[in-house]
Amino acid sequence: MSVSIQSNAQSALLSSLDQATGALVNPFEYAISKRIKAHGKTTYRVQPTNAGATTAGTTISWDLPKSGFIRSMALKFEVECAAVANANLITPATGFLNAIERVNIESSSRRILTMDRAAIMCAYSDLGKEQRDAFERGLGMHGKGVGKYTANSAASSAGGTSIEVFMPLLLSCCDASNQSLQTGFLEPIRVSITWASSFNFATSRSAADTFAAYAISVSRPELIVDSILLPPADEDATISANFGAGPLSSLVYDYESETDQTATMSAVDAEGATIVKEIKSTACATDIYFWVEDDGAYATDVLLGVNRVPLPVEHVSLSASGQTIYDQIPAQFLGCFGRRSLRDGFFGTCASGGYEAKPAGDDDGEAGKSAYVYRLQLGLDNSKQFDSGALSLRELNSPTLTVKMARLSASGFRRTSPDAVANRPVKMHVVIRKLGLQVVDSSSGRVTSLLSN
């Protein structure tokens, strides 16, 4: 007999633990503990109901077919550019995400889920490294896929020469299968996307390195939908299980954006600016996100590098009802290790991307990284597939977020970001990921948001 087995047999502690027979598991015993029944799948393209609504500030909509369970959705559109001799199309590091103002899921004209651009940035920052990379490539962020549109001195109005853009919709109904939209039973569901009020984030840069306005337009928008199809008997059984006993109340999460807080960056070699924001939301918050950006005009490469991208923060505090909940916690710690899981160790979102290539030395401070979208995680787990705790803001007195920006040196934020951002106006986005109850009527499939707190 093995000496290790003999030794374990003499252990009083192990003998005591073995008495808890209900907890014993034999990992070598074959069993099917969970299996999803075989099903059908289809991925299709949906055309908008108002295809001409592609100008800045308009809202374009898609009506989802009443078939199957929606697993995921993605927006696809093309960007066309006018012919500008000896010029390249230039966008900030956040790419064509700047063309989107808001995404809504609607039921009979009632908004049941929503995300604005700030919330999309927050959801994007939660993705894993490979998923973030795909998201960035789809939207041309951080210069990814730059070869598609840097040599566009000729017009790109034809389908084969325009720039294809893809953006997955990071809504709660696409995060967990039990939150999927059951379009076969629900009343008609509509997806609406509002374009940004202006497309002036796009500029041209000539060979002489001068920036000028560059007219772009959006064309051929589509919604790519991934749907799961069940056999009729299984779909009927699922609908019966969910709605057979009356209206179904389900726990969902949504995003709520606070009014942006404006501030002015500090001077070079001065203490970083402090931005204070009193949170007005009364929701049950699972997470509080914040990020700071300079969205002013740019006419140089150094300003382009910090335009419309997350900027590094020094530390953050959160206080409410006379108590301090986060006490000047270093923002770098939050960016690297703030997204905890129930698994062993930390689960962080690593710094990713930037306007320029990594410098030879430490790139701490380079603007544009998803790690500079900070998350105050109030639950036990960073997963969005189940509820692991929340903080009710309604009962708190003046919950206040205090953020101190990183100090500007002659070489920028600590080391690499351009100091041209000194004394520039910035704004801080604060986004609440909140819990809510959503009710589906068992006779009509009517969806309503019942309770947010």
Task: Check whether 441 has a pLDDT greater than 70.
Answer: yes
163-207 pLDDT tens trace: 889 999 999 888 888 888 888 888 999 999 999 999 988 887 766
What is the value of pTM for the model shown?
0.88
Q: How many beta carbons lie within 10 A of that of residue 351, not counting itself?
A: 18
Q: How much of the chain is in helix, strand and coil states, percent to nearest 5?
A: 20, 35, 45
Instruction: Return the exposure string of 283-317: e unless at least 16 CB atoms fall within 10 Å of the residue's CB, then b.
Output: bbbbbbbbbbbbbeebeeebbbbbbbbbbbbbbbb
Task: Check whether 151 has a pLDDT greater than 70.
Answer: no
Angle formed at CA 214 by CA 51 and CA 207, multiple of 5 degrees:
145
Please state the φ and ψ torsions of residue 105, each to the nearest 5 degrees.
-105, 125
Could you give the maximum distance between any two Cα atoms of the chain, in Å?
Answer: 84
Task: Check whether 327 has a pLDDT greater than 80.
Answer: yes
Give the pLDDT confidence score for residue 25 in this predicted structure: 86
Task: Check whether 158 has a pLDDT greater than 60.
Answer: no
By three-state DSSP, how is residue 46 classified?
strand
Instruction: Return the exposure string of 105-136: e unless at least 16 CB atoms fall within 10 Å of the residue's CB, then b.
Output: bbbeeeebbbbbbbbbbbbbbbbeeeebbebb
Q: How confident is the model at residue 385 (pLDDT cuts 50, 70, 90)?
A: confident
By three-state DSSP, how is residue 178 classified?
helix
- Distance between CA 405 and CA 261 in Å, rounded? 13
